[in-house]
Structure 1
Amino acid sequence: MSAPAALVTGGSAGIGLATAAMLVDKGWSVTLVGRDRDKLLSAAAELGTDRVHVVAANLASDVAKDVIAEHVRRHARLDLLVNNAGAGLIGPIQQKTSKELDLELTLNLRSAVRLIQEALPQLNEAARSNGASWIINVSSMTATETPPYASVYSATKAALVALSSSLHAELSPDGIHVTALTPGLVDTPGTSWAPEQTRDRMIPAEDVAGAVRFLLGQTPRCFVPVLPLVAAGAGMHEMVNWRALG
């Protein structure tokens, strides 16, 4: 039997790369998806196995069908879809351009929906054959803490939580496990804007990958629709002066 296979978006760094490294360590085959082919190839080389495939694609465009098809051509199966690609543009709502609005809505939410739609035949087959398959949507604690100057980003991340909850009700009877991860600030290149003094309090990307490992380790009868990951203290409002950033 071939190794289980996962597709991870935003896979060239941060949470995506840490998750891919965990999966490779567990014997999985992985497809990394991102915009920059050179960064993807560098990430694949870092993982050090021919079980890693890369697909350079702009998920803000309607490329989901092609991305899933390329993954299946390489690995012949899909057991886990990790929707991790996203963009967070901090600033006053009055100054957000139509282009910025469309990017956040499309990349953070629409791309996840389209990938899920295209992946479902393979995920259903994996669940029938092996008892379970997984969709993990990387949301954010901003879905509930909703800081100022991050309104659209927070809205898209809250939508991912609602999407995951509804899909759990829809897909769990077929053995597909759907989870929204809602981490607080994670120490990745994507949070380079945060004050340097907060970095030693941020969640390591490897801990988010560990949450994925936890989800994969549960019995087929245990479902986890939402999984929060938080840092010490009262929360993100305590760690970051959002108004200063705005």
Structure 2
Amino acid sequence: MSAKRSAIVTGGSAGIGLAVARMLAGEGWALTLVGRAPERLAAAAAQLGDAVEVRTVSANLADPEAAAGLGADHVAHFGGVDLLVNNAGVGLIGPIATKTPKQLDLELNLNFKSAYLLLQACVPALIESAAERGASYVVNVSSLAARENPPNGSTYASMKAALVSLSNVAHAELSRHGVHVTALLPGLVDTPGTAWAGEGLRDTMMTADDVAEAVRFLLRTSARCYVPEIMLTTAGPGVWHSPVDWDAVAT
């Protein structure tokens, strides 16, 4: 295994993924950034400087074969993997009655299946890393929608909830080997993916760097400390809330 710690970050060209990658690069991690658009990946990598090695992989993670092959590709290049950040996702807003099979498949594959397959591919290397370094990590970026269950967000909320369940099962299977698995459940985050929101709403959102700091916290806890879930929310009348009128967004 390489002396330098390495991580895979999906959805790494912008938003939460790029913020996490920026934090990791600052901590000296070698990185594989994954996204669909090569030009956006190149721009993201340029932001991280040249102090650490940053590889970019353009892949459509809605394709199961692409997701499954990423783990082996990273391990072959870096000699192992110490952290997997499953951050790729898409939210298609609309009522259950009008969801098309094509839309359903896209959200199923990108929000859940890609994370499952990439985790599956990385399990042997994560176990090896934990044996050699004392701990390795998986961070599955879910959403507060997994708890809120908003109208017109059926598939997105369901898949984000499934990601939490997958994280819990992975903890049960892998924590005995020193692999730390955490589900992150942020509320609304100011990213390109929430560009549809007006300025008044965006001013209330948390930043992508807030989510990256949650990942930094996980990496700084002792090997004895397992954190199955971190929820991040914004000001409001309850913990599970959203200032968004999801019926209005769907129209």
TM-score of Structure 1 vs Structure 2, range by shorter chain:
over 0.9
Superposed CA offset, 1:105-153 (max 9, x none): 1100000000001001110110000110001000000000111100110
User: In structure 2, what is the equivalent of residue 182 of structure 1?
Assistant: 185
Q: Is the 8 A contact 1:101 1:152 kept in 2?
A: yes
Q: What's 2:232 paired with?
A: 229
Q: Distance in 2 between matches of 1:73 and 1:238?
A: 42
Q: Note the alpha carbon deviations across 1:179-207, whole angstroms, 9 max, x for none.
A: 00000000000111223211111010001
Please name the residue that 1:58 is paired with: 60
CA contact (8 A) 2:127 2:179 kept: yes
Q: Which runs of 4+ in 1 moved over 2 A?
A: 234-238
Tell me, yes or no, if the aligned pair for 1:147 and 1:237 is still in contact at 8 Å. no
Matches within 5 A, 1:163-182: 163-182=166-185
Percent identity of equivalent pairs: 56
Matches within 5 A, 1:1-246: 2-49=3-50, 50-62=52-64, 63-234=66-237, 237-246=241-250
Unaligned residue ranges in structure 2 (runs of 5+):
none
Conserved in 2, the CA contact under 8 Å of 1:195 and 1:240?
A: no
Q: Secondary structure at the match of 1:239?
A: coil
RMSD, matched Cα: 1.2
After TM superposition, give the deviation of residue 237 of structure 1 in Å. 4.5
Instruction: Output the CA distance in 1 between the equivalents of 2:168 and 2:9.
Output: 20
* d(CA) in 2 for partners of 1:109, 1:171: 19
The 8 Å contact of residues 187 and 199 in structure 1, kept in 2 or not, is answered as yes
TM-score for the superposition, normalised by structure 2: 0.95
Tell me which amino acid in the other structure corresponds to 1:60.
A
> Given the two structures, how large is their TM-score scaled by the length of structure 1?
0.97
Question: Does the CA-based 8 Å contact 1:53-1:74 persist in structure 2?
Answer: no
- When the two structures are aligned, how many residues end up with a matched partner? 246
Which amino acid in structure 1 is aligned with residue 182 of structure 2?
Answer: T
